[in-house]
Amino acid sequence: MPCSVLVARWVVSQLDPTVDPVAADWEADVGRCVSIVGLDAWRGLVVSGEDVWSCPDTAARLLGGRVAWYPSVSPSTSVELGDGVHVVQRWRELDGADTAAAGDDSFRPGASGHAYLVEREGDAVRVLQSSTAAGVRSSLGSWRRDGWLSGYAVRVASVGRGR
C-alpha cells in the first residue's frame, strides 16, 4: 500500500472505526473511504503532484489539529512532537523548496517524499508507515531532536489527543 494511502485510511478510520487502516484488501475499500470523507478530501489525503503538502493539511482539517512547517530540517532543528498522533510528510528535491513558503512547492522529477504516522509512547515513538515495496510496518524507537529528518522539508500535523 502506498504511504499516503495508509495515512488516508488511518484518518478515515478516526471518522469511521469500521475502516481498517491496514487492511490487505485496501483497494477494494477505496470507494467506501471516499464516501466517508468525500472525493476532494480523499484526493487531499492521497498526495498528488499538484499539492505536495495536502496529506497533513487535509488530515488536520478533517480531524482538527495544528500543522507545523519545517522548510529545511538540519541537525539543529527541533521537530516537536507532543502527545498524540502526528501525520508526518517529508520531501527532498521539490521545486520551490528553497523558500520558506510551502505554497510554492511542487513535485519535479527526482523528488522523493514519504508520509507516515508517529505517536509518542512514553519516551519512545511508534512509527506506522507503508510503501509499495515493503508493505505496512510498525516500529518503536527514539525520536531525536531533528526527528531523523535532516535534509528534508517537513510538515507535521498534530491530529491526535494532546495536540
Q: Please give the single-letter amino acid code of residue 1.
A: M
Q: Is residue 93 part of a domain?
A: yes
User: Looking at the 3D structure of the chain, how many domains does it have?
Assistant: 1
Domain CATH for 14: 3.90.70
pLDDT for 99 equals: 52
Q: Is residue 152 part of a domain?
A: yes
For the chain, count helices (H), then strands (E).
4, 6
Q: Is residue 163 part of a domain?
A: no
Domain extent at residue 16: 3-158
pLDDT for 162 equals: 47
pLDDT for 160 equals: 72
pLDDT for 67 equals: 94
pLDDT for 163 equals: 44
**Cα dihedral value 91, 50, 34, 128, nearest 10:** 0
Distance CA 105, CA 123 (A): 34
Strand partners, 92: 112
Q: Please give the single-letter amino acid code of residue 45.
A: L
Per-residue pLDDT of the chain (163 residues; tens, 9 = 90+): 999 999 999 999 999 999 999 998 899 989 999 999 999 999 999 976 678 889 999 999 999 999 999 988 989 998 888 888 999 999 887 765 555 555 555 555 677 789 999 998 888 899 999 999 999 999 999 887 777 888 888 999 999 764 4
